[in-house]
Structure 1
Amino acid sequence: MVVNREDSWPRSANARTPAEAQTAMVLEEYGDYLEPGPPDWRESGGIRHFVRRGFVLVHDGYADRAHEMLVAAGIRGERATERAAALLPGGRRRPEEPVDGDVRYGVRYLRVGPERTVPEALRVLHEGLHDGGGRRLHDPLGPDIASAEHLLHLADHSGVCPADEPGFVPPLSPPDPPIVADRSAGQGIRIVVIDTGLDPAVSAPWLAGVTGDPDPGVAGGVINRYAGHGTFIAGVIRTVAPAAEVIVRAGLPGVLFQTGRAATNPPGTVFERDLVSALERCLVQDSPDIISLSAGTYSDTPGGPMLLNAFNDRVLHRYKGVVLVAAAGNDAARTPFWPAAARGVVGVGALAANRRDRARFSNLGAWVDVYAPGDQLINAFPTGVYTYTEPPRRGATQRFEGLARWSGTSFSTPVVAGLIAARMSRTGENGPDAAAALIARARKDAIPGVGAILVPA
């Protein structure tokens, strides 16, 4: 069943909470390409994540079997028909949209037929196929074999960052956390931020030398939704590791679809397919020591999103000196949030402004490795006019003057990335070893009821 966005979820203009507003904006801007999850979201408390409409993912060795099951169940046509359906008139392929049969990191895309949903297809694959008499025709494929492709994003409704919209602070206010005394911290260490890009016009002195892709959300004195997110994160890193080399890549606002007109995805969103492409480009072109990522998703798959996991296993783990640091999300929930919950990734929660309590919004649980300051931080932000999109300030405007106050595990993540860089420059350890040593120290100093914490000195 295709979700009727108007009837099934409040429009953003009518949303009563920031969570409802952010969900509505994703649906309004992107809904033709998405299905909300979990499948029973209407009965189970609301939308928790989004998956790509029209495709399932299957490990390549099981693709033929999955194809046979879906065809037998009437959920998929024959291969030639489905491949043609993925093409635009004239035989041109939709840019960035997968084609039936595409393989990425050992995972194959299989197209779901028109008017059929991804949950319907996965139910067949996960439960197996039986004849009318109950005889099993095909054994089930586990959720680690067949899954959906997830949308990762910075929208608050599903626990991703930020936890609020940016707030005004007067020009010349000092950053918080303050710049550390050791101005050589992070020297010789390269950190790549995969985010919304960088506003090179921001004049905060601690950003000197930071490079990267321009933030497309900053133009003509207007600051669009989520614009400045990557700039703010770069600033947080530089307060903790002032000498680190920081590169900000626009890995979240890339063009995903063109269906008769040029269209970019909503700010701060990216499918797994596009994120792993951005991560691989970063590894090959930028040779980072640390990657800071402040986006993620929940998942119906217990082990996490399939394509992200395949990338971790087949690509990221080959770069043994690189550490990925990721935000744990902002739902005050224990549900694993990916990729922060993935093996080998440093998952970062947020501390409250007093640096002793867990932030009210931060996700928590055994899968969160460490908590760091992430509530009411002050750092670099574009100059221009921002229009608020969420209640209670929806519709109000604010002129920013190069700084902002912002909260979320988005911003505790670069604190930890900076601390890892500072240790690496001091000890000579690589990223994973430095991260492990810091987390081990943090666990010794853990606060009861909170967990392991890291706070800049």
Structure 2
Amino acid sequence: MFDQEARLERLLARHSDAVVVEPMPGRRALIRRDQLLVAERDAPAAQELVRRWHDSSHDEHGVTSLRLRAPAKVDVCELVAGLGRDGRHRRLSLSPNHLVHGQPMWWSGPADLPRPAKPLPAPHAAAARREVTVAVLDTGLSPHPWYEDADWFAEQRAEVAEILDSDLDFELDAQAGHGTFIAGVLLRHAPTARLCAHRVIGGDGVGDELDIIRALARVVARGGADVVNLSIGCHTFDDRPSPLMARAVAALGRRTVVVACAGNTGGDRPFWPAALKQVIGVAALGRDGTDRAWFSNYGWWVDACAPGEDIASSYVYFDGPRPGMRGVDPDEFRGFATWSGTSFATPAVAGRIAGLAAAEGIEAAEAADRVLAPSSHRALPDLGVVVDTPCEAT
């Protein structure tokens, strides 16, 4: 168990515009201070209602970001709650700009850190009946022998490259390599998939709701994707879904399957966007694959589960400052690692869906129905359908 409060302090120091809110005792959330997200169609009404505190506005992808004047010290959560339930204003789609985190996270710090691992055999690309695209919204991608010669990797833009040491302390950032690791898990289950990376969180594992909405809009603008992997998420200030996030997910269309991690806070509090009805929320099983991993969230809103502890996958190349002992260097990574978290159960499920869609030449939605069919798969209370992932045993 890591010191949660110390890690939270470091996060707040690194993100000076972040603030902890706790409208309900014991149910904290993180938001961007003095920011309000509003559906574009509701922006004029919202701007009129907040005109006394309004500082600036920015419109993008159907969402207006309203910035309020800091000296006014507006309680954004209270403002959203009031506008959301108050008579004629209840139809406004608005939300604070919640911070989102990559998962492995235990509230404000990783439930687990990556450890160097021995090389794994590259995924074997079997015959596929159709091409399947998986959008990965995460920390980006670093070159790796498993895919660096693939045409889809060559097409990736420079701005999606992983940033490994943003604070220049000669150590890997807390979640650097997160996206590269997830790419490997996906390819182990769907070797022929074309991955499309969108960098929405930094190497510290932190981004925000607006970043995800923008990336989802880019996915739509580029023709969509068969599967979207979201190994990121957050708790909201009122434990309800953000209407802006829900709209962005719905805009992907019914042919796109969205798979998201259930989070690592070890409780049943809804974690978003995994808890959205149109999203497959994925919990993590422990090492033996028979029951919930100690860190994994659970609840009525979880749809599936897969192994998420001590998972091996592709990783970055990096040698940190710690000296080796007895022939073992604890922070020298040579392209492979083991890691734990619902972050890594999620691409196993997404990969199984994408792999079946490619192999059988079917739509991703049909593949998801088959992978998660309760009539032919075991289910666990509050963890959903157990997704068979045989390659995790290697």
Give the TM-score, by structure 1 length: 0.72
Change (3 A) 1:188 1:125: closer
C-alpha contact (below 8 Å) 1:328/1:349 kept by paired residues: yes
User: Could you tell me which residue of structure 2 aligns to residue 311 of structure 1?
Assistant: 248
Change (3 A) 1:60 1:379: closer
User: Which whole-Å CA distance do the structure 1 matches of 2:116 and 2:371 have between them?
Assistant: 33
Matches within 5 A, 1:215-234: 215-217=162-164, 223-234=172-183
Q: List alignment gaps of at least 5 residues for structure 2.
A: 323-328
1:66, distance to aligned residue in structure 2 (A): 4.9
**Residue 197 in structure 1 maps to residue 140 in structure 2:** yes
Change (3 A) 1:369 1:228: same
Q: Deviations over 1:161-211 (max 9, x none)?
A: 953111122x33x47xx957x7336862121211111111x33x4775261
1:412, distance to aligned residue in structure 2 (A): 0.6
User: Which whole-Å CA distance do the structure 2 matches of 1:243 and 1:66 have between them?
Assistant: 46
Matches within 5 A, 1:77-116: 77=53, 82=54, 85-86=55-56, 99=57, 102=59, 105=62, 109=66, 111=68, 114=71, 115-116=73-74
Candidates 151, 155, 159, aligned match of 2:99: 151
Instruction: Classify the secondary structure of the residue corresponding to 1:273.
Output: helix
1:58, distance to aligned residue in structure 2 (A): 4.5
For 1:274, the aligned partner's letter is D
User: Could you tell me which residue of structure 2 aligns to residue 96 of structure 1?
Assistant: none
Q: Deviations over 1:357-400 (max 9, x none)?
A: 11111111111110011110011111213479xxxxxxx96212
Change (3 A) 1:422 1:369: same
1:225, distance to aligned residue in structure 2 (A): 2.6
Of all paired residues, the percent bearing the same amino acid is 30
1:305, distance to aligned residue in structure 2 (A): 1.6
Change (3 A) 1:397 1:45: farther
User: Could you tell me which residue of structure 2 aligns to residue 399 of structure 1?
Assistant: 332
Change (3 A) 1:387 1:229: farther
**Residue 52 in structure 1 maps to residue 26 in structure 2:** no
Candidates 278, 285, 295, aligned match of 2:222: 285
Q: Deviations over 1:228-267 (max 9, x none)?
A: 11111111111112222223332323xxxxxxxxxxxx63
Candidates 377, 381, 404, aligned match of 2:311: 377
1:416, distance to aligned residue in structure 2 (A): 0.7
User: Could you tell me which residue of structure 1 aligns to residue 351 of structure 2?
Assistant: 418
Change (3 A) 1:52 1:400: same
Matches within 5 A, 1:221-370: 223-253=172-202, 267-285=204-222, 287-313=224-250, 315-317=251-253, 320-370=254-304
**Residue 36 in structure 1 maps to residue 26 in structure 2:** no
Change (3 A) 1:61 1:456: closer
Instruction: Classify the secondary structure of the residue corresponding to 2:15.
Output: helix
Judging by fraction of residues, say which structure has more strand: 2
1:422, distance to aligned residue in structure 2 (A): 1.6
Larger Rg over CA atoms: 1
User: Which whole-Å CA distance do the structure 2 matches of 1:434 and 1:249 have between them?
Assistant: 24
Change (3 A) 1:304 1:356: same
Q: Deviations over 1:141-167 (max 9, x none)?
A: 449744312111226666599531111
C-alpha contact (below 8 Å) 1:290/1:431 kept by paired residues: yes
User: Which whole-Å CA distance do the structure 1 matches of 2:112 and 2:308 have between them?
Assistant: 11
Instruction: Classify the secondary structure of the residue corresponding to 1:54.
Output: strand
**Residue 409 in structure 1 maps to residue 390 in structure 2:** no
Instruction: Classify the secondary structure of the residue corresponding to 1:333.
Output: coil
Change (3 A) 1:186 1:149: farther
C-alpha contact (below 8 Å) 1:147/1:301 kept by paired residues: no
How many pairs align? Answer: 375
1:428, distance to aligned residue in structure 2 (A): 2.4
Matches within 5 A, 1:65-214: 66=46, 70=50, 76-77=52-53, 82=54, 85-86=55-56, 99=57, 102=59, 105=62, 109=66, 111=68, 114=71, 115-122=73-80, 124-125=82-83, 128=86, 139=87, 141-142=89-90, 145-154=93-102, 163-169=111-117, 171-172=118-119, 174=120, 183-184=126-127, 188-200=131-143, 202-203=144-145, 205=146, 209=150, 211=153, 212=156, 213-214=160-161
User: Could you tell me which residue of structure 1 aligns to residue 326 of structure 2?
Assistant: none
C-alpha contact (below 8 Å) 1:197/1:250 kept by paired residues: yes
User: Which whole-Å CA distance do the structure 1 matches of 2:341 and 2:237 have between them?
Assistant: 24
1:295, distance to aligned residue in structure 2 (A): 0.6
Q: Deviations over 1:23-67 (max 9, x none)?
A: 222201113x22212235xxx237x32112113344566656655
Which shifted more, 361-370 or 441-450?
Answer: 441-450
Which shifted more, 241-250 or 440-449?
Answer: 440-449
C-alpha contact (below 8 Å) 2:18/2:32 kept by paired residues: yes
User: Could you tell me which residue of structure 2 aligns to residue 22 of structure 1?
Assistant: 7
C-alpha contact (below 8 Å) 1:144/1:306 kept by paired residues: no
User: Could you tell me which residue of structure 1 aligns to residue 371 of structure 2?
Assistant: 438
For 1:247, the aligned partner's letter is C
